[in-house]
């Protein structure tokens, strides 16, 4: 421990023990952060409580945070609300915002959107950036208040101009859809770009799409790939899918099956049905990879559970032919009947041919199983 923290520790601790609330708060802060003393949340909570009981606003806020997070004390949202409320009543913007959020979510207190709006507005009026963004969100979604895009834009703009990435992104979206402002793709691009430069994953994805389609900016496939990749590397499944699609098409960039498969696999593993279907196509035809009917069946089996019609048709065909899976007319019937019901002519034709190869008992079993599968999918997909 160097000399300066040691001196500060002694000075704050001595004053804290004499009951000075500022010193109690400052020493508690040192304990919470491990600044000049070993980090100890229990000690931090003890000193914060002593200061908070003397109406030290910062200590009340800090104690509320410890209770909300369960640091050094047993997690207790009700006590967190209590301390936030005491600090908020005395004008602390952070406490007002935190109290507003807890009221919105019914966290430690009964949900009350009008009161949540009230406290968030108090904080926002003091320049609290997160509160400004949250107000924009509440007005945009009509949460606890009548939906008002004009108000949403106003609050998003305040947060955005202060550098809040969520505010910048949402303001860009409002311009893109003409909600609360005149539709303006160049403004949508401007604000999305500002958010994307801060690493906002949704903004990066949108920026990729804007470059791909030439919305608000001249189309540039390489810039599209750049921004899709940044979002994809953060796990955005839509960006992963779009990146794979650009590489498979190879219209404005060199075609690259390996890159397409890589990004579609990542999207498919996150449940993207189109990526799952496309991977099946890649494996059945051997695009940039050794052909594998079994891999195709694996991915189509995932896509069918999400109601992906083409995957249902293909999987039914694989069962009918015994490709990548044991031949099974009942399973083939089940999966072909679903697209057939939706008017898929090839599925209807194959289904008729299949019935000629099945016994009446097999057909009845397949029809009953198909009804159960259809009911299950409707329930799961909604």
Closest CA to 242 of 258, 224, 254: 224
C-alpha dist (Å) from residue 77 to 41, 121, 203, 278: 17, 22, 33, 47
């910048």: which residue's tokens?
Answer: 168
Residue 198 banded pLDDT, cuts 50, 70, 90: very high
Q: Tens digits of per-residue pLDDT, 122-176? A: 999 999 999 999 999 999 999 878 999 999 999 999 999 999 999 999 999 999 9
How many CB atoms are closer than 10 A to CB 87?
26
In this prediction the pTM is: 0.86
Average pLDDT value for residue range 81-85? 98
DSSP class of 55: T
Task: Check if the beta carbon of residue 246 is closer than 8 Å to that of residue 278.
Answer: no
CATH topology of domain 284-382: 1.25.40
Closest CA to 284 of 247, 244, 325, 253: 325
Ranges of each domain in the chain: 284-382
Sorted by sequence, the CB contacts under 8 Å of residue 186 that are 6+ apart come out as 216, 217
Alpha helices in 165-236 (DSSP H): 165-177, 185-196, 201-213, 221-233
**CA gap 292, 303 in Å, rounded:** 17
Tell how many helices (H) and how many strands (E) occur in the chain. Answer: 21, 0
**In the chain, what is the greatest distance between 2 CA atoms, to the nearest angstrom?**
95
Average pLDDT value for residue range 289-318? 97
Model confidence at 3: pLDDT above 60: no
Model confidence at 86: pLDDT above 90: yes
Residue 118 CA neighbour count, 13 Å, CB half: 8
H or E element at residue 380:
helix 360-381
Q: Tens digits of per-residue pLDDT, 14-33? A: 898 999 999 999 999 999 99
H or E element at residue 66:
helix 57-69
Residue 131: exposure state from Cβ atoms within 10 A (0-12, 13-18, ≥19) = buried
Residue 298 banded pLDDT, cuts 50, 70, 90: very high
Task: Check if the beta carbon of residue 267 is closer than 8 Å to that of residue 241.
Answer: yes
Sorted by sequence, the CB contacts under 8 Å of residue 257 that are 6+ apart come out as 247, 248, 282, 287, 288, 289
């Amino acid at each position: 421990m160097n000399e300066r923290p040691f001196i500060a520790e002694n000075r704050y601790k001595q004053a804290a023990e004499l009951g000075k609330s500022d010193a109690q708060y400052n020493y508690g802060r040192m304990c919470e952060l491990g600044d000049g003393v070993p980090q100890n949340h229990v000690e931090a909570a003890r000193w914060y409580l002593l200061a908070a009981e003397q109406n030290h606003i910062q200590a009340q806020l800090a104690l509320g945070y410890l209770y909300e997070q369960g640091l050094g004390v047993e997690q207790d949202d009700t006590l967190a609300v209590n301390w936030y409320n005491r600090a908020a009543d005395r004008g602390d913007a952070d406490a007002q915002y935190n109290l507003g959020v807890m009221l919105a979510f019914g966290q430690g207190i009964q949900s009350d959107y009008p009161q949540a709006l009230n406290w968030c507005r108090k904080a926002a009026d003091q320049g609290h950036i997160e509160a400004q963004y949250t107000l924009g969100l509440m007005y945009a979604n009509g949460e606890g208040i009548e939906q008002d895009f004009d108000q949403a834009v106003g609050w998003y703009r305040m947060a955005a101009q202060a550098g809040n990435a969520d505010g910048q992104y949402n303001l860009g979206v409002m311009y893109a859809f003409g909600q609360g402002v005149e539709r303006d793709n160049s403004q949508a691009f401007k604000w999305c770009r500002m958010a994307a430069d801060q690493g906002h994953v949704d903004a990066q994805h949108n920026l990729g799409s804007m470059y791909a389609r030439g919305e608000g900016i001249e189309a540039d496939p390489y810039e599209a790939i750049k921004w899709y990749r940044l979002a994809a590397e953060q796990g955005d499944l839509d960006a992963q899918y779009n990146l794979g699609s650009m590489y498979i098409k190879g219209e404005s960039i060199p075609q690259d099956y390996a890159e397409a498969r890589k990004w579609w696999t990542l999207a498919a593993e996150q449940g993207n049905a189109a990526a799952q279907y496309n991977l099946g196509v890649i494996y059945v035809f051997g695009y940039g990879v050794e052909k594998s009917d079994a891999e195709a069946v694996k991915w189509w089996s995932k896509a069918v559970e999400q109601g992906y019609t083409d995957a249902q048709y293909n999987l039914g065909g694989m069962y009918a032919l015994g490709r990548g899976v044991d031949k099974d007319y009942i399973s083939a019937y089940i999966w072909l009947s679903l697209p057939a019901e939706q008017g898929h002519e090839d599925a209807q034709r194959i289904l008729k041919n299949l019935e000629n190869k099945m016994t009446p008992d097999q057909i009845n079993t397949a029809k009953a199983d198909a009804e159960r599968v259809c009911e299950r999918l409707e329930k799961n997909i909604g």
